Amino acid sequence: MKLRLLALALLATLAAGCAKKGPTDAEVLSGSRKILLSSCRQSGAKLPGITPAQLETFCGCTTEKVIGIMGVDGLRGLATRGAPTEDVNEKLRQAGVECVEQIR
């Protein structure tokens, strides 16, 4: 449950980090990856019972899944359109669950 909340918090952090205009697709992906990984590592480090190796696996998994689900256009849209649709949010929640399974 805590990791699900972590995944949702990462999405909010990502939306805030993609607010600048005009980045290339590569910059959007690179910046998003950095923001997601950093935020996940910082937030996850506070969770009891998760090892550094588990945290790294989880953060890598969720980062790549969020990027895959959102795509460049979706990541760009976070800055202008705000929160993703409920359908996308459900996919992100499922991705978080799948990533939790990788560390169990």
pLDDT of residue 99: 94
pLDDT of 92 higher than 90: yes
Residue 15 lies in a domain: no
pLDDT of residue 12: 57
Residue 1 lies in a domain: yes
Specify the number of domains making up the chain. Answer: 1
List, for residues 50-70, the tens digit of each pLDDT value: 999 999 999 999 999 999 999
Residue 85 lies in a domain: yes
Residue 27 lies in a domain: no
- Which alpha helices (DSSP H) does 18-44 contain, by range? 25-44
pLDDT of residue 96: 92
pLDDT of 41 higher than 70: yes
Report the b/e string of 57-76 with b at 16+ CB within 10 A.
ebbbbbbebbbebbebebbb
Residue 22 lies in a domain: no
pLDDT averaged over every residue in the chain: 85
pLDDT of 6 higher than 80: no
User: Does the predicted TM-score (pTM) go above 0.85?
Assistant: no
Residue 25 lies in a domain: no
Q: By residue range, what is the domain housing residue 84?
A: 1-9+32-43+51-104
